[in-house]
Amino acid sequence: MTMLTTTMIAAAMAAAVVIALVVGGDIGRVMLSGS
Protein backbone atom coordinates (compact mmCIF):
# COMPACT_ATOMS: atom_id res chain seq x y z
CA MET A 1 0.00 0.00 0.00
CA THR A 2 1.05 3.56 -0.52
CA MET A 3 1.90 5.91 2.32
CA LEU A 4 -1.25 7.92 1.62
CA THR A 5 -3.50 4.86 1.83
CA THR A 6 -1.91 3.75 5.09
CA THR A 7 -2.28 7.23 6.55
CA MET A 8 -5.93 7.45 5.51
CA ILE A 9 -6.72 4.06 7.06
CA ALA A 10 -4.94 5.02 10.30
CA ALA A 11 -6.80 8.33 10.41
CA ALA A 12 -10.15 6.61 9.83
CA MET A 13 -9.46 4.11 12.62
CA ALA A 14 -8.42 6.89 15.01
CA ALA A 15 -11.53 8.89 14.13
CA ALA A 16 -13.75 5.85 14.72
CA VAL A 17 -12.19 5.31 18.15
CA VAL A 18 -12.62 8.96 19.12
CA ILE A 19 -16.24 9.02 17.94
CA ALA A 20 -16.99 5.80 19.83
CA LEU A 21 -15.53 7.24 23.03
CA VAL A 22 -17.28 10.59 22.71
CA VAL A 23 -20.69 9.29 21.63
CA GLY A 24 -20.76 5.98 23.50
CA GLY A 25 -18.99 7.05 26.67
CA ASP A 26 -18.68 4.05 29.00
CA ILE A 27 -20.39 1.79 26.46
CA GLY A 28 -17.76 2.72 23.87
CA ARG A 29 -14.93 1.89 26.26
CA VAL A 30 -16.44 -1.49 27.11
CA MET A 31 -16.86 -2.36 23.42
CA LEU A 32 -13.30 -1.27 22.57
CA SER A 33 -11.74 -3.18 25.45
CA GLY A 34 -13.93 -6.20 24.76
CA SER A 35 -12.81 -6.46 21.14
What's the CA gap between 6 and 34, in Å, rounded? 25
| 10 vs 19, more confident | 10
What's the CA gap between 1 and 4, in Å, rounded? 8
Q: What is the average pLDDT across 3-9?
A: 94
What's the CA gap between 14 and 32, in Å, rounded? 12
Q: Residue 35 pLDDT > 90, yes or no?
A: no
**What is the count of structural domains for the chain?**
1
Range of the domain at 18: 3-34
**CA 15 and chain centroid, separation:** 5
